[in-house]
Amino acid sequence: MKQLSFAASEFAKKPKQTRREKFLLEMDAVVPWPRLLSVIEPNYPKAGNGRRPYELPTMLRIHFMQQWFGYSDAAMEEALHEVPLLRRFAGLDAGTDTMPDETTILNFRHLLERHALSSVLFAEINGLLSERGLLLREGSTVDATLIAAPPSTKNREGKRDPEMTQTKKGNQWYFGMKAHIGVDDQSGLVHTLVGTTAKDSDISQFTQLLHGEEERVSADRGYDYPQVHAHLQESLTEDWVARKSKPNQDLDAWTRGLNHAIAKLRAIGEHPFRILKRQFGYTQVRYRGLSKNTAQLFTLFALGNLYQARRALLASGA
């Protein structure tokens, strides 16, 4: 990061390291910045006769802070003006630099969406984790979660997002989309992601969530269908899919024991969702349209993987 001016340096004198500061220091150390920047750089605007673009590292850091702290474009602009810590992480100096406005922040996100770069960044981060021996391929657990979308029609179009749909879970209706993930069952790292509208069933994406080299696959009872078991049998994969009880018939002792063992194995598949919803505060879609929200999910799960693996990466000198 660049040297701070006198106007900015006065903020550096504080007696305590905050949790947010510690978090940013850790993530700064484990994010593979050169690899990610090399993916985006060919598509990033070059300096020309017009307004000079902000430095690419600055814009990528701002984009990641939006994911970590749940800022909208406008709120991110405000935070850069108000919070010295965030400016320092972005490499911006209040004494010499102008702050990117919300349109600039929006345009950077649109650039990533236009060139489908979020999924490439996800792949680059997973490539690093595989190289470090942290993302294994012995077993997968698959799962899905509903992500709510605003049901309000108080917008320019006067209607709800047409790409979001309703589905019923238990006795409650939900409106939004689904995130389907395939997770390494040893590390808890997400290796595959598919975004769909909410009404798509969990099993509709089952085969898409497998990388094909698994020795075993685990899943909850929502995947207990004949076609799932047949696929695993044909591919000679250990079947650790929990069984549902049949109508008016309780599970036998053996099946209850199997389900209990499967629950312990697949519990690790819930952890990525907890990071998104609790650590990053992501509980509702931010944009209109399935592709935009799926692109954000690729970024969120990529950063969630780094967060999960941060201690191992730091110990190995990431």
- Domains of the chain by residue range: 6-115, 137-289
Q: What percent of the chain has pLDDT over 90?
A: 75
Q: Give the whole-angstrom CA distance, residue 305 versus residue 318.
A: 14
From 198-207, 221-230, 246-255, the region with the lowest mean pLDDT: 246-255
The residue whose two tokens read 């969630």 is: 304
DSSP string of 158-227, one letter each residue? SS--TT-EEEEETTEEEEEEEEEEEEETTT--EEEEEEEETTS-GGGGTGGG--S--SEEEE-GGG--HH
The tokens of 11 are what? Answer: 């903020």
- Reply yes or no on whether the pLDDT at 99 is more than 70: yes
Q: Taking the alpha carbons of 235, 260, 182, 33 in that order, is the dihedral positive or negative? A: negative
pLDDT band at 5 (very low <50, low <70, confident <90, very high): low
CATH architecture of the domain with range 137-289: 2-Layer Sandwich (3.30)
Mean local confidence (pLDDT), 41-57: 84
Residue 103 pLDDT > 90: yes
Confidence of residue 246 (pLDDT cuts 50, 70, 90): confident
Predicted confidence band at 132 (pLDDT cuts at 50, 70, 90)?
very high
Is the Cα torsion angle 37, 40, 43, 44 positive or negative in sign? negative
From residue 160, give the alpha-carbon distance in Å to each of 145, 173, 293, 299: 21, 15, 15, 25
What is residue 8's predicted lDDT score, i.e. its pLDDT?
A: 54
pLDDT of residue 13: 61
Rounded Cα distance between 263 and 52, Å, is 54
Closest CA to 100 of 47, 69, 57, 62: 62
pTM confidence score: 0.91
pLDDT for 12: 55
The average pLDDT across 75-88 equals 96
Per-residue confidence band for 7, with pLDDT thresholds at 50, 70 and 90: low
Residue 240 three-state SS: strand
3-state SS, residue 230: helix
In contact, 195 and 297? CB cutoff 8 Å: yes
Q: How far is CA 216 from the centre of its chain?
A: 24
pLDDT in tens, 269-281: 899 999 999 999 9
> SS3 for 287?
coil
Burial classification of residue 11, based on how many CB atoms lie within 10 Å of its CB (0-12 exposed, 13-18 middle, 19 or more buried): middle
Position 94 confidence tier, pLDDT thresholds 50, 70, 90 = confident
Query: How much is the average pLDDT of 150-173?
Result: 83
What is the chain's mean pLDDT, rounded? 91
pLDDT in tens, 234-244: 999 999 999 99
Kindly report which listed range (65-74, 79-88, 252-261, 288-297) carries the lowest average pLDDT score. Answer: 252-261
CA distance 261 to 256: 9
